[in-house]
Structure 1
Amino acid sequence: MAHLFEPLQLRAITLKNRIVVSPMCEYSSEDGFANDWHLVHLGSRAVGGAGLIITEATAVSPEGRISPQDLGIWKEEHLPMLLRITQFIKSQGAVPGMQLAHAGRKASTCRPWEGHKAVPEDQGGWTVYAPSAIPFNDVYPLPVALTKEGIKKVIQDFATATERAIRAGFEVIELHGAHGYLMHNFLSPLSNQRTDEYGGSFENRIRLAVEITEAVRAVLPPQFPLFMRLSATDWADGGWTPEESVKLASILKEKGVDLIDTSTGGLAAHQKIQVGPLYQVPFAEKIRKEANIPTGAVGMITTPQEAESIIAEGKADLVIMARELLRDPYFPLRAAHDLQYDDMPWPVQYVRAKRTKLK
């Protein structure tokens, strides 16, 4: 049996295989609403055989959006279309997950194809919040430092969004603590220069991530898993480190997090990333072994053999894929064929196209 196609149980939820559709921003919403694009984008990857389908970064508040076109879950009216999407995902034997996010100092920015820059006020730009008034770079918005009341609101927004996500049919919740967004802003000394209980020491810088985790776990039904996406390193001197990621992962495990989705970077404009095939996998392996918590591996994983090796060699528990699944929504079906795994279920509508193992 190919290890990539072994089921994985997390709490009461069983994933049929280890292939996960990574959260990928589509920048295709209006006022946070999901639409037919999201149904087709997420639904086609469920048809393609992935075990877990995670939405793009979904804003817990309007000010928490990266761009004006981000998906959102800050109001009840967002739920009907999301429920339609989760029902379809489940009908294909996959599990629907939602990544909840607040963009922090990277909020109110244009979509990538419109240029990485701040959204002008006369075009709908809004006030951006972060731990400290330090912009990401000279063309991003200057953030306002969150007050204590503002921090309390963020925590409550995540909890309320979790309750809505469950009512919309999602069965896995992932908290976005990576890529230079709000929780990551608090974690890294490069973006957090507060002098109160939310800044300075490691214990203070992780406080927001821990408090959001506690608030979300308190309202998340116990049968549903909770993930946290972390950038394991800032790839910049003086920033967040892999060792701190291990320490935080151990704490999050005690607070009810079930898996660390292990990415890197995104916080510092001057980051120097050593990019290459599987370049982020060692961070997932380190956290898995040293914090004794399941992990997901990401980053330039493009072939069935690479994905299989990650699971078979115990480097991570899930393979969380993005660009390869944009290129090929049916990658899991192809991977099963390439790895000579004959028991991969196909949609009955597509069975006539299935290629069996050569004798």
Structure 2
Amino acid sequence: MKKHNIFASASPIGIVSISLGILIGNISVLAADNAALISVSVTNNQPVMPRTIFTQTWTVQNTGTTTWTAGASGYTLNMVGRDSLGAIELYTNTASKHYKPTAIINGGHSVAPGQQATFSMSFIAPEPAGLYTDTFQMNSASSVFFGPMLTVQVTVQSAGSTNQYDRARAVSFANNYAGYVVPDGYFWTNSSGFYFYGSNAPVPTTLIGDDCAHFVSCCIGRQTNEWGGGLPIPSRASPTYGEPGAGRLVSTVLIGGGYAKEVFSLNDMMPGDVVGWNWEGDTNIANLDHVTFYVGNGMLASHAASALDVSANTWYQSSESLAV
């Protein structure tokens, strides 16, 4: 393994034609929230090479009667289903229970009925060749989905056997499991105890726990039920996958194993890298208290407390960065 910088009617008398949205008999009623896709910047089946980071922009028309408010608490374009393309949000999440990649209205302005809005998100092409699709749908300020399914779809070209750490799959894993128990089904509730909740169960909210290194191990590793980035992370506390200790994962497994090096700035990091934390300001990387996964654009994913796309600068403090 190489080292790498880690969508029959009645017949009334006198038909009234109303130009609205949902047909009921011969009269159509406009949906309060509706949308129509106008264009995309990346068309379906566009060829890309592995590891390519690209941005999809959807132009969407407001065909309903409600004005779309901007921002994360307004009208957004949300991922539906699972991520397969290493989705990276282009804004920083500040909500603790936000667990799906989301795009907000570009420009931060409201969109009146009849007007158009653009939504953007970045993606990473995975290592294996093939067709990959992520699906999205509009979501109202009341958290109600509406409108057509919108996609980003690319064909990743073959680049031979590269033996590369798959950053796209690692980021996809973090996106898919930030709010859920990972595929081995276990969740660490403290430094010495774990419980079986079952794969894809919602993460426990009645406790903070110590699932951080277990989660990161799965994101970057190759747990049997579902691979992340593909690094061979040893399992020290079977039947849970990976390394449960933050300091040991970073110092012994990653740096000691030759998979990573320590860096000191987010500018030196790439999506798929790891950020370690020490609450006392101890700079000895073996004494880390917490470890998180870097999804890119200055944002983190983590377990215990579980979060997705939160700021690496403000969500925690006293960090040690690690490039995988």
Structure (1 or 2) with the larger CA radius of gyration: 2
TM-score (ref. length: structure 2): 0.28
Give the structure-1-normalised TM-score: 0.26
- Determine which structure has the larger helix proportion and give its number: 1
**Greater RCO (CA < 8 Å, at least 6 residues apart):** 2
